[in-house]
Amino acid sequence: MKLWKTVAATCLMAWSALAAAEPGVTDSSITLGMSAPLSGPNGAYGVEMREVINAYFAQVNKNGGVNGRKLVLEALDDGYETDRTVANTRTLINDKQAFALLGYYGSSPTTQAMNDVFGPAKVPLVGTISGADSLRRPPGANPNNRYMFNVRASYANETDVIVSQLVSLGLKNIAVFYQNDGYGRSGLDGVTAALKKFDLAPSAVGTVERNSLDVDLAVQNISKVTPQAVVMITLYKPTAAFVRHMKKNGQNPMFMTVSPVGAEQLVAELGDEARGIGISQVMPYPWNDTTPAVRDYQRLLGRNGKYSYYGVEGYITAKLMVEALRRAGRDLTREKLVTALETMNNLDLGGYRVTYGPDSRNGSRFVELTVIGSGGKILR
């Protein structure tokens, strides 16, 4: 009888532990989910992020994992399409049993996924390639934002630095070329707000649809004002198409763009025509190892690694996730992960600092300007 009581008690304890376990968490592993473009015109962005995140997780796993658990990344291809991102998020949470999410891409896809899926499911997401205000509102304004932890600076931060630089050079005739979605409109709002500080407004605007290269109408509309500068809130392929068409149309303004364009991708697409384009950056310079995070990132990839801004961002995002998981402890729950993130104040990730709080999901405000030089070299 005593033996049966012991067996029953052991089974009850095992059942209770199993029932209490969070999705994606076992005694030996933690499953994390990622949705990003891994194919199509913007596939280079997601592939680079995934490779670096996987490499960092492998390094962590080799050294014992996080509180004794190995990290497993489930990455799904969304082609930079909102519907696929939302569907992928459901798959990651419901089928892949992801404990938490990281490394998403894009404003509209991530915002809709947050409001429709991972926010209501109370699953934290760390890091997205987006500076949209919709992802930075305090949880009091939108309860779903409680589970969104941004790493990079906002588009408002980036465009403010760009516009201030242009105006300091005496330029006032400033047009905007933007992608017709949440990303582009958020950037347009940022440029408009920054110009308003100087009693200015965009002299012209032109748009391009997501995953499209049809820039003819935008070039036509913007060329009418012969702008001194154009701020481009677009990804690398439409940006390259726009610059080429503008130059063919006899227009040679100062071209400026924001960090999601991908400096390396733009250089590869435009070649020598990329020279002189200014780009705001929200991550440390990848080719100088004076910043500890960059030095560690370069060591991770090795001497022959392909260094890039997206790579650094993937590394910092993965490092932040690992630090949050460690702080959440061995008795891991999603709520403990949220608390661990919310209590990070001026966290130093190796020369790159992030700050969160109960009402703040901004992460970093770091922005610096770069320009594409001869030979496609990115210069600070």
Distance CA 332, CA 339 (A): 11
Per-residue pLDDT of the chain (380 residues; tens, 9 = 90+): 554 444 444 444 444 444 447 999 999 999 999 999 999 888 988 999 999 999 999 999 999 999 999 999 999 999 999 999 999 999 999 999 999 999 999 999 999 999 999 999 999 999 999 999 999 999 999 999 999 999 999 999 999 999 999 999 999 999 999 999 989 999 999 999 999 999 999 999 999 998 899 999 999 999 999 999 999 999 999 999 999 999 999 999 999 999 999 898 999 999 999 999 999 999 999 999 899 999 999 999 998 888 999 999 999 999 999 999 999 999 999 999 999 999 999 999 999 999 999 999 999 999 999 999 999 999 99
What are the backbone angles phi and psi of residue 65, rounded to the nearest 5°?
Answer: 75, -155
**Architecture label for domain 8-152+290-363:** 3-Layer(aba) Sandwich (3.40)
Side chain identity at residue 3, one-letter code:
L
Question: For the whole model, what pTM was predicted?
Answer: 0.90
Domain ranges of the chain: 8-152+290-363, 155-281
Distance CA 233, CA 184 (A): 5
* DSSP code for 174: E
Closest listed residue to residue 230, CA positions, set 277, 161, 193: 277
From 3.40.50.300, 3.40.50.2300, 3.40.50.360, 3.50.50.60, which CATH number describes the 155-281 domain? 3.40.50.2300
Distance CA 79, CA 319 (A): 25
Distance CA 261, CA 255 (A): 13
CB 324 within 8 A of CB 304: no
Judge if 8-152+290-363 and 155-281 fold alike in CATH terms: yes
CB 235 within 8 A of CB 279: no
CB 229 within 8 A of CB 258: no
Bridge partners, 366 (sequence order): none
